[in-house]
Amino acid sequence: MANRVGVIGGGQLARMMTVPAINLGLELKVLAETENSSASLATTVVGDYTHLQTVLDFSEGVDVITFDHEHVPLHILEALEKKGKSVQPPSRALAHAQNKLVMRKALARIGAPNPNWRAVSSKEQLEEFIAEFGPEVIVKTPIGGYDGKGVRVVSSASQVSDWLEPSSLSALGGELLAEEKVQFTRELAQLSARNSSGEFKAWPIVETRQKNGVCSEVLAPAPNASKELSLEAIKIAELISSSLEVTGNLAVEMFETTDGRLLVNELAMRPHNSGHFSIEGATTSQFEQHLRAVLDLPLGDTSMDQVAVMVNLLGVSNDKDFVDNYELVMKAFPAAKIHAYGKSPRVGRKLGHITVLDKSIDSALATANQARSAVLGVN
Ligand code: ADP
């Protein structure tokens, strides 16, 4: 059996794959950016993932290549595929997670629900879109955005004049993505996995809450989600993963609109922050499932026995490590499962997370929030 998985990127997602890799007896090798990466507990090679020969050499010792992030240039993945390497998800699928315009076009083609959108490359085109869908619209850079960077709410094209400068625009691929400003009641995420034999499994839909554009809390399952809404979300995820030939995990970030529709915001093809709850909260965690899926093994059960709340631990100072507060928090919150990513502290940086399982979302959320304040040493 193929059992050697190569992960490009040494962040917390690669780190959290190491535990199920150990449990399943898989070999996990990581191509990390730096010596002290979050994933340095795994067998790590330090190298530049934008350098073709580095990635080719890395791929020699593994059966399958997969990802901790989606920033590996497509031409490098295509070169690996030409040499017969197994890349999961394949470059033709990953392209949709790398570029929001490529994604919008593909979702329109396959009939997945998009907000109103348009590719714009000039002030005039953007003003036209604003006149049609404004007064406020969202403008996004198709590539390179994360955690809300690369997303602006605008009511005039002059608010993105920097992005429309010829040099910036060509670096961004020649076009910007304009979207209607969706009126939503909340943000949801549907996490699923698919292997290359076509087996597909989904976790319950979750609610994600952001602060300053960064995920802060995940409620699993999403409170008060109707059966119809939950089934619709899984149908959308299955349509996307099978039509775009996604392998491994697929996270579909969605808006629940004020009039009860689901619209796709964006896609990730790897373990995702919205799925960290599954480590303790579901029979099979997203990290185990991703490994099973990329190796084309049968997928594990995704059911939950209790509800779960996951809260992110974002750095509150540039020097204090929250590990110092462990003893206190463990004593006060014995049900809180603390995860630390082994990263040096920095304000706003994702340094870890806490998951609490309980009978109700409200009580899990209350405990998780208290444990978070205690571990971060804030009120
Ligand atoms: P990133 O790739 O940086 O995570 P997203 O495309 O997910 O960027 O956008 C970041 C946030 O901006 C979303 O979580 C959502 O709150 C808001 N947003 C994005 N697109 C829209 C939209 N079309 N309408 C309303 N809000 C949006």
Q: How many A from CA of 254 to the centre of ligand 1?
A: 10
Radius of gyration, CA atoms only, the chain: 21
Give the pLDDT of residue 147: 65
**Is residue 293 a contact partner of residue 5, using CB atoms and an 8 Å limit?**
no
Q: How far is the CA of 148 from the centre of ligand 1 (A)?
A: 6
103: Cα within 13 Å, side-chain hemisphere:
27
Q: Are residues 355 and 281 in contact, defined by beta-carbon separation less than 8 angstroms?
A: yes
What's the gap in Å between 334 CA and the centre of ligand 1? 35
What are the chain's domains? 4-87 (3.40.50.20), 116-180 (3.30.1490.20), 184-376 (3.30.470.20)
Smallest CA separation from ligand 1 atom 9, residue: 148
Condensed to tens digits (0 to 9), the pLDDT of residues 134-154 reads 899 999 999 876 666 789 999
With bands split at pLDDT 50, 70 and 90, how would you rate the model's confidence at 325?
Answer: confident
For a substitution probing ligand 1, which of 141, 188, 264, 265 has the most ligand atoms within 8 Å of its CB? 265
Give the tokens for residue 169: 């625009």
Q: How far are the Cα atoms of 186, 193, 297 from residue 257, in angstroms, in the given order?
A: 7, 25, 36
What is the CA(302)–ligand 1 centre distance, in A? Answer: 27
Q: What angle do CA 180, 129, 140 make, to 5 degrees?
A: 55
What is the CA(242)–ligand 1 centre distance, in A? 24
Give residue 338's pLDDT band: very low, low, confident or very high (50, 70, 90).
very high
Q: Whose CA is nearest to atom 5 of ligand 1?
A: 148
The atom of ligand 1 lying closest to the CA of 117 is 23
CA–CA dist 340, 4 (Å, integer): 25
**Which DSSP state fits 318?**
S
Taking 70 as the threshold, does the pLDDT of residue 58 lie above it? yes
At 278-320, the pLDDT tens digits run 999 999 999 999 999 999 999 999 999 999 999 999 999 888 7
Residue 335 CA from chain centroid, whole number: 26
Span from the CA of 188 to the centroid of ligand 1 (angstroms): 12
pLDDT(321) > 90: no
304: nearest Cα among 277, 275, 283:
283
Give the span between the Cα atoms of 239 and 288, in whole angstroms: 23
Over residues 78-119, the pLDDT tens digits come to 999 999 999 999 999 999 999 999 999 999 999 999 999 999
Looking at ligand 1, which atom is closest to the CA of residue 150?
3
Compute, in angstroms, the gap from residue 184 CA to the centroid of ligand 1. 11
Share of the chain above pLDDT 90, in %: 88
User: Residue ranges of the alpha helices (H) in 149-300?
Assistant: 161-164, 166-171, 227-243, 278-281, 286-294
Within 13 Å and on the Cβ side, how many CA atoms surround 60? Answer: 7
How many Å lie between the centroid of ligand 1 and the Cα of residue 192? Answer: 21
Centroid of ligand 1 to alpha carbon of 298 (angstroms): 34
Calculate the average pLDDT of the chain.
Answer: 95
Residues at CB less than 6 angstroms from ligand 1: 115, 138, 140, 145-151, 179, 181-182, 187, 210, 213, 253, 265-266
In eight-state DSSP terms, residue 33 is S
Provide the pLDDT for residue 41: 86
Statement: the pTM of the whole predicted model exceeds 0.75: yes
Q: Whose CA is nearest to atom 14 of ligand 1?
A: 213
Per-residue pLDDT at 318: 84
**Which atom of ligand 1 is nearest the CA belonging to 184?**
25
User: Tell me, what's the pLDDT at 146?
Assistant: 66
Which of 129, 138, 212 to mutate for ligand 1's pocket (most ligand atoms within 8 Å of CB)?
138
Residue with tokens 């989904």: 202
Band of residue 326 on the pLDDT scale cut at 50, 70, 90: confident
Distance (Å) from CA 236 to ligand 1 centroid: 19
- Atom from ligand 1 closest to the CA of residue 182: 24
Does 124 score more than 70 pLDDT?
Answer: yes
Peptide bond into 221 cis (omega under 30): yes
Nearest CA to ligand 1 atom 8: 148
Sheet architecture: strand order including 86-87: 43-46, 27-32, 4-8, 64-67, 86-87
* Ligand 1 atom with least separation from CA of 263: 23
Select the more confidently predicted residue: 304 or 324.
304
